[in-house]
Structure 1
Amino acid sequence: MNVKTVRQDRSREPSLWPFAALIGAAGAAMLVYALPDAPGWLSALALTVCGTGPTSAHAGLLGAVLLVLGWGLARGRQTAWALTLGLLVWSAAAETEALLAPSRAEPWRLAPLAFAIIGLWHARTHFQVPLNAGRLRQTAEFSAVAVVAVLLLGGGGLFIERGSFATPVAAGDIGREVVSAAAANPGPAEFDGPSWQLNGLALLCGSLLVIALAWLMASAPAPRPGGRAQRAIVRAMVAHPDSETLAPFALRYDKSYVFSPDGRAAIGYRVLAGMAVAGGDPVGAAASWPDAVEEFAALVRRSGWRPAVLGAGPAALELWAAQGMRRIGIGDEVVVDAAGFSLDGRAMRNVRQAVRRTERAGLVVEVLPERELEPGLAGQLRRIHREWLGPSGLEHGFAMNLDAMARGAHPEALIAVALAPEGYAVAFQRYLPAAQYGRAPALSLDVMPRTPLSPNGVNERLIVDVIGYARIHGYQRVSLNFAAFRPLLSRARSAPGELTRTQRATIKAIGLLDPLIQVDSLYRFNDKFQPGWVARSVLVGSWLDLPRFALAAFGMEFALPYDRRRTGRAVTAGEESVELQGGAQPVEAAAPLRGHRG
C-alpha cells in the first residue's frame, strides 16, 4: 500500500471523541448529582438523562456506568457502542411507553435520544475493536463469582441482621432485599437506624458492575511470544540485506510477531500496560515494510492496544508517520566504520592507553562464534553474565538486547572473550551479525559483562579487537551502544554557554539519574571511539500515551517486577536453547571466577 494513500485514509477517519465526550459528560454530571450538596440546576440535567429524578444511589451507579461507556467509546470498543446504543433505545422505549400516562411523560426527551441513536448507528462501522473472546470469558467467570459472593455474603449478612429490620421479614424478603440493593433501589423493608448493610451491599454491587463492564471493554490480553517456527522465519529475515542493525534483537524469546501479507517482512513487538511496543524497524525486505507496518497498525486497532515504537531508525520514520504516529528523538545509535577505524591520533589517546593497560596485564582476546564455545567456557560466560545482571538475574532490554546467553540459541552470534593469563574469562562481549540498509554486513553489540576485578580498559580492548575482526571478515560497520540524549550532551560539552534554561535543567536531571542509567558516562565512553551516529526515535500514537508508554518501556527495558512475562519466560528460554543444542544440559564452571587487577 502506498504511504501517501495510507496517510490520506488516516486523515479521513472520523473522531470518536464527540460520542465519548457526550456520554462521559452525562456520567460526570450524574456523579455530581449524587453528592449530598449537588447544585440545583443539575436536577434538570438528571431529568434529561434519566427521564425522572433519580435517587443518589441510582445517580451514582448510572454515572459510573456512563463514564466507563464513554471511555470505551473513546477507545473504539464495539461493546461500548452496543451497550450505549442499547441504553439509549431502552430509554427511548420507556419514554414512549410513558406517553400512555402523560403525567409521567417527558416527551421532549425523545428528540435528543433520537439524534443520539441515529448518530451512533451511523458511526457503527468506526468502532473497530471487537469484543475479545478471552475478556468475555474472564468477565463471565468474574461475574459468576461476584453473583455468588453477593448472594452468600450479602444475603447471609442481611439474614443475620434480620432482627434489625423495622418489621419482621422472611427468607424470601431477604432475597428481594438483595435484588433491590443490587439494583440500587430502596427495598420494601427498613432497618431501625442507619442501614450500613443495605448501603454497603448496594455499593458492592455497583462496584462489581463497573468492574465487569471495564473488564469486558479492556484491550485484548498480551499474545503469547512467537514459537520456534516463527523465530526461524524471522531469523532468515534478519539476514536479509535490507534489515538494519537492530534487526537481530527481534529474535528475543519474549517477542510476538506480525508479518506482512507476502511473508517477506515482520515486526517484533510486546504488549505491556495496554501498549503494543515494536522494537526498532521492521525486519526483512524493505519493499514489504509498509505492508508489515499496516498489518501491525491493523492488529493494534483490532486488539484495542495503543501503538508505540522504541528505537525506530530513519528508514521507517515515514511509514510510521503515515499511521499518524508522533516522533520523539531519544538519542543516537553508536556506529563505528570498521575500515576507517584507527588508534592513531590524539583523539584516540584514551582508547590506546586502555588497550595497552590490558596488554600489560596479560589479557588475551579471542573472537569466535557462539556455536564454537566449549562447554566449560560457555559456563564461565553464563556465570559472568548472571553476576553482572545482579541479584534478580533477569535479562534486561527490549529493543537493543537479546537473550539466552551462551546457550546455543543464537549460534550465529560472535563472542569476544577476554582471558586472564591463567586462562579463565574475566569479561566478554556478544555481537550479532546484521545488515545495514542494503550495505555490507554489520555487527551489532548486545551486552558487555565483566567481572568486578577485571582490569580497567577491558571493554575498550574488546571493542578494538572486534573492530579489527570485523575489518578482516568483511563487516563494514560495528554498532555499539545507544547514546541517549546525545545531541544535548554533545552541545553541553562543546558550547555550554549556549544552552537554554530547559536544556540546562535537563542536563542536571541526567546527572542525577546517571548513577542509575549511566546516560552521560555511556555517552562519554562511546565518544572515545570517534563513531558515527544514527538517530533513533520513540513513536507514539498520541502524546497522551506518553505516561503509559513510559510505564511499559521502563518495565521492558529494566525487567521491573510488574513485567510478569519476563519472569515467566526466562526459564523457558533456557529450556528452548537446550532443545536447540540437541538436549545437552549446559555445563557450568565448577571453580569460582577469579578476578585479575591490572
Structure 2
Amino acid sequence: MSRVRHLLRGPRPEAAPLLVGRACALVGVLDIAAGVFPRFRHSRMHAIAEVLPGALGPFAAALSLSTGVLLLLLAHGLKRGKRRAWRAAVALLPAGAVAQFTYRHSIVGVLISLALLAPLLRHRDQFNALPDPRSRWRALANFVLMSAGSLLLGLLIVSVHTERMVGDPSLADRITHVIYGLFGFEGPVDYQGDASWTVAFSLGALGLLTAVTTIYLAFRPEHPAAQLTEEDEARLRALLERHGGRDSLGHFALRRDKAVVFSPSGKAAVTYRVVSGVMLASGDPIGDVEAWPGAIERFMDEARAHSWTPAVMGCSETGGEVWTRETGLDALELGDEAVVDVADFSLAGRAMRNVRQMVKRIERAGYETRVRRVRDLGDAELERIRRAADDWRGTDTERGFSMALGRVGDPADGDCLIATAHKQDDHPGPYGDLKAVLHFVPWGTDGASLDLMRRDRSADPGMNELLIVAALQAAPKFGIARVSLNFAMFRSALARGEKIGAGPVLRAWRGLLVFLSRWFQIESLYKFNAKFQPRWEPRFVVYRASADLPRIGFAAMQAEGFVNLALPLPRFLRRRRPAGRRPCAHGTTTERSVRAA
C-alpha cells in the first residue's frame, strides 16, 4: 500500500522538471518515429503511437512529425524548469487531447495527454526559471540547424517508402525532392497511392516548422547578456583598491563581457558569464572576505532563478572553502598558479641555466626590452601595440576568461604593465621594431598578474622568456614584489607522474594529459612556468554534482576560447559590441521574477 501511495503522489517536486522533460522527449521521439516509418505505424507499437498527441486524421504523419519535433524542442526547457517551455507544453497537450477526442474519439489519446499535463499543473511552481540571454543571431542558428535537421529527416522520409516509389530515383533526385517539399512544391520523385500525400504533408510540415520557429526567434525582443556598466566597473575598482591584493585574479573581474552580483552590503561581489546554461564565475569573490557569503548567496539565487548550473573556475583554497561551506557545492583541484617572488628571483644557478643562456643569446642578437606602465605610453604607441597584439593573436577568437582581461591599453587600466621587445631591422614590418608584447594587470598594490603574451612569428624563439625576465628584473622600481604567471592545469599530476615510484594509475593519467597536450597547452604551460622556479598556488573548480563536470568543462572551454560554436560569418557581418550595455540584475530574485512575469 505504501508503494501505491508513493506512486499516486507522483514525483518529488524538485524532480518534476527532469521527469516531465524526459517524458516529453520520449513522446516526441515516438511521434517522430510514427510520422517517419510506415512499418512503425502498422506494427504492434502502432496501438501506442497512433494515440500520441499529434497523430490525427488524414494528416497523421505530418502532425505526428511536427508534434514530435516541438516536444523535443520543449523537452530541454522543461528539464531546466523554464517557464516559457511550461506554458508551451501546457498549451500543446490540451490541444492534442481535444483533437484526439474530437477527430478520433480516442480516450487513450486523451489519457496520455492528461498524464503528461497533470504533473505539469501540479508542480507548476517548479517551472519558474527566467529566460536565458538571447539575441536575434539565435534565429540564424535555428534556421541553419533546423534546415539541416529537416533535410536529413526529409531524406529519411522520402527513402522509407521504397515499395511505393516509382522507379529508382538517384540520391540527387531524392535530395531535390526534399528541398522542393520543404518549400511546399512537388519534386521529381513519384509514389503510388497515398504515399505521395504522406511525404508531401510531412515535408511541408518540416518546412513550415523551420520557418515559424525562425520567424519567432527573429522578431521576439532581444534579451542580451548582462554586462558590466560603468557604475558596476567603478564599484568593482573601489573594492579592488581596498581588497585587490588578496587574489591575483581579482583584476580580471573587470572584463566587460562579464556580469556581476553584489552582496547586500555592497562590500563584496562575484563576477560571472553564462555559457551554454552554465553560470561560470572565475577566481575568488571580490571584496571583504566577511561579505563573501552575501555575494555568493546572490550568485546562487541568480543561478536558481534562471535554472543555470553554478560553477566557479580557478578559485583559491580559501575561496573554495567559503564556496563549499556556504553553498554545499563540491571542490576539485584543477591545477596550480605559478607565482614568482621578485626578491628571490635570479638568473644565477644551475636551475636557471637554460633561461639565462636563452636570454643572453637573444640580447646578443640585438633585441632590447622596455617595461612601462600603460599610462606612461603615448596614444600612437599604444595603438601600435594594440594592433600588433591583435594581429599576432593567431586565432579569430580571443582566448582567455579566468586569467585574461580582454583588452590592452584602455585608459582606465593605467596601472597595467606592458613589456615590449624591440629590434631594428633593415626591412621593418608594419609595426616597426616591435617584436613581442607582454601585458600584466595589477595584483593589489605590490603585485602583477600576467595577462597576455604575443610575439611576431618571424621573431627569434624565446621572446616570452626574454620579456618575463625583463619584467621581473624591472619589477622593484614599480614597487612590485610578486608576479603571477600562467596557470598550469593538472600540474601536480604531471609533476608526480614523472617521478620515480609513481603508480600505474598516476602514470596513465599523466600519459593521457601528455596526449591531450597535442591540442591543449597542458604540459607545455607547466614546463614553461617551471623554468622560472615559481611557487605553486593550487586553484580549484567548484561544482554542484559530478554529473555537471563535463558540461562545466565544455562551458569553460567555450569561455576560454578553445571551442567556438558561433556560426562562421564574414567580417562585415560579425557582431559588433552594442553602444549600450544591459545592466546586471542586482535586485532580489523575487523582484526580478515579478518584473519578468
Q: How far apart are the structure 2 equivalents of 1:524 and 1:18? A: 47
**Which one has the largest radius of gyration?**
1
1:57 aligns with 2:92: no
Contact 1:325–1:541 (8 Å) recurs in 2: yes
1:239 aligns with 2:241: yes
Counterpart AA for 2:240: V
1:485 aligns with 2:490: yes
Contact 2:133–2:223 (8 Å) recurs in 1: no
Q: CA deviation at 1:279?
A: 3.1
Q: Identify the residue that residue 30 of structure 2 maps to in structure 1.
A: 29
489, 494, 506: which is aligned to 2:512? 506
Q: How far apart are the structure 2 equivalents of 1:239 and 1:281? A: 15
Worse-superposed segment, 567-576 or 68-77: 567-576
Alignment of 1:239-278 (within 5 A): 239-241=241-243, 243-278=246-281
Root mean square deviation of aligned Cα: 4.7
If the length of structure 1 is used for normalisation, what is the TM-score? 0.69
Contact 1:429–1:445 (8 Å) recurs in 2: yes
1:467 aligns with 2:472: yes
Q: Identify the residue that residue 335 of structure 1 maps to in structure 2.
A: 339
Alignment of 1:174-323 (within 5 A): 196=196, 199-206=199-206, 208-209=208-209, 222-241=224-243, 243-318=246-321, 320-321=323-324, 323=327
Q: How far apart are the structure 2 equivalents of 1:132 and 1:362? A: 54
Distance of aligned partners of 1:267 and 1:32 in 2 relative to their CA distance in 1, 3 Å threshold: same
Counterpart AA for 1:33: A
Alignment of 1:389-404 (within 5 A): 389-390=393-394, 392=396, 395-404=398-407
351, 355, 366: which is aligned to 1:351? 355
The CA deviation string for residues 281-303 of structure 1, in whole angstroms up to 9 with x for no partner, is 33223333333333333334434
Counterpart AA for 2:509: Q
Q: How far apart are the structure 2 equivalents of 1:363 and 1:22? A: 66
SS at match of 2:498: helix
Counterpart AA for 2:29: A
1:122 aligns with 2:122: yes
Q: CA deviation at 1:502?
A: 3.5
Q: How far apart are the structure 2 equivalents of 1:374 and 1:541? A: 47
Counterpart AA for 2:524: S
Distance of aligned partners of 1:240 and 1:80 in 2 relative to their CA distance in 1, 3 Å threshold: same
Q: CA deviation at 1:76?
A: 0.6
Q: How far apart are the structure 2 equivalents of 1:211 and 1:550? A: 34
Distance of aligned partners of 1:220 and 1:310 in 2 relative to their CA distance in 1, 3 Å threshold: farther
The CA deviation string for residues 531-565 of structure 1, in whole angstroms up to 9 with x for no partner, is 11122344555656566555544444337664589
Q: How far apart are the structure 1 equivalents of 2:574 and 2:135? A: 26
Q: CA deviation at 1:506?
A: 0.7
Distance of aligned partners of 1:92 and 1:59 in 2 relative to their CA distance in 1, 3 Å threshold: closer
Distance of aligned partners of 1:461 and 1:90 in 2 relative to their CA distance in 1, 3 Å threshold: closer
Worse-superposed segment, 274-283 or 246-255: 274-283
Counterpart AA for 2:258: K
SS at match of 2:227: coil
If the length of structure 2 is used for normalisation, what is the TM-score? 0.69
Distance of aligned partners of 1:254 and 1:94 in 2 relative to their CA distance in 1, 3 Å threshold: closer
Distance of aligned partners of 1:323 and 1:110 in 2 relative to their CA distance in 1, 3 Å threshold: farther
Contact 2:53–2:113 (8 Å) recurs in 1: no
442, 449, 474: which is aligned to 2:447? 442
Contact 1:65–1:210 (8 Å) recurs in 2: no
Q: Identify the residue that residue 438 of structure 2 maps to in structure 1.
A: 429
Q: CA deviation at 1:371?
A: 0.3
Q: Identify the residue that residue 162 of structure 2 maps to in structure 1.
A: none
Contact 2:436–2:456 (8 Å) recurs in 1: yes
Q: CA deviation at 1:129?
A: 1.7
Q: How far apart are the structure 2 equivalents of 1:538 and 1:219? A: 35
Counterpart AA for 1:519: I
524, 527, 530: which is aligned to 1:527? 530
Unaligned runs of 5+ in 1: 1-10, 147-180, 185-190, 577-598
Q: CA deviation at 1:194?
A: 5.8
Q: CA deviation at 1:339?
A: 3.2
Q: How far apart are the structure 2 equivalents of 1:62 and 1:411? A: 58
SS at match of 2:343: coil
Counterpart AA for 1:502: A
Q: CA deviation at 1:389?
A: 1.5
Q: How far apart are the structure 1 equivalents of 2:579 and 2:116? A: 56
Q: How far apart are the structure 2 equivalents of 1:326 and 1:16? A: 23
Contact 1:29–1:42 (8 Å) recurs in 2: no
Q: How far apart are the structure 1 equivalents of 2:20 and 2:563? A: 37
Alignment of 1:34-49 (within 5 A): 34=35, 35-38=37-40, 40-46=43-49, 49=52
Q: Identify the residue that residue 152 of structure 2 maps to in structure 1.
A: none
369, 375, 380: which is aligned to 1:371? 375
Q: How much identity, in percent, do the aligned residues show?
A: 32
Q: CA deviation at 1:195?
A: 7.1
Distance of aligned partners of 1:337 and 1:57 in 2 relative to their CA distance in 1, 3 Å threshold: same
Q: How far apart are the structure 2 equivalents of 1:474 and 1:231? A: 25
Q: How far apart are the structure 2 equivalents of 1:541 and 1:47? A: 41
Q: How far apart are the structure 2 equivalents of 1:121 and 1:340? A: 66
Distance of aligned partners of 1:137 and 1:519 in 2 relative to their CA distance in 1, 3 Å threshold: closer
Q: How far apart are the structure 2 equivalents of 1:25 and 1:444? A: 50
Counterpart AA for 2:121: W
Q: How far apart are the structure 1 equivalents of 2:227 and 2:544? A: 23
SS at match of 1:495: coil
SS at match of 2:38: coil
Distance of aligned partners of 1:118 and 1:331 in 2 relative to their CA distance in 1, 3 Å threshold: same
Q: How far apart are the structure 2 equivalents of 1:525 and 1:136? A: 42
Distance of aligned partners of 1:266 and 1:222 in 2 relative to their CA distance in 1, 3 Å threshold: farther
Q: Identify the residue that residue 418 of structure 2 maps to in structure 1.
A: 415
The CA deviation string for residues 119-157 of structure 1, in whole angstroms up to 9 with x for no partner, is 332311111224679789999xx99xx9xxxxxxxxxxx
Q: How far apart are the structure 2 equivalents of 1:130 and 1:511? A: 39
SS at match of 1:447: strand
SS at match of 2:319: helix
Q: How far apart are the structure 2 equivalents of 1:117 and 1:196? A: 35
Q: CA deviation at 1:28?
A: 2.6
The CA deviation string for residues 350-375 of structure 1, in whole angstroms up to 9 with x for no partner, is 33334444555565544321101134
Worse-superposed segment, 207-216 or 473-482: 207-216
Contact 1:257–1:268 (8 Å) recurs in 2: yes
SS at match of 1:481: strand
Contact 1:266–1:283 (8 Å) recurs in 2: yes
Contact 1:219–1:305 (8 Å) recurs in 2: no
Q: CA deviation at 1:395?
A: 3.8
536, 539, 542: which is aligned to 2:539? 536
Counterpart AA for 2:496: R
Worse-superposed segment, 53-62 or 559-568: 559-568
Contact 1:247–1:280 (8 Å) recurs in 2: yes
Counterpart AA for 1:126: Q
Distance of aligned partners of 1:116 and 1:37 in 2 relative to their CA distance in 1, 3 Å threshold: closer
Distance of aligned partners of 1:452 and 1:210 in 2 relative to their CA distance in 1, 3 Å threshold: closer
Unaligned runs of 5+ in 2: 1-11, 147-180, 185-190, 426-431, 581-597
SS at match of 1:336: strand
Counterpart AA for 1:22: A
Contact 2:261–2:295 (8 Å) recurs in 1: yes
- Number of residue equivalences: 508
Counterpart AA for 2:452: V
Worse-superposed segment, 113-122 or 234-243: 113-122
Distance of aligned partners of 1:574 and 1:389 in 2 relative to their CA distance in 1, 3 Å threshold: farther
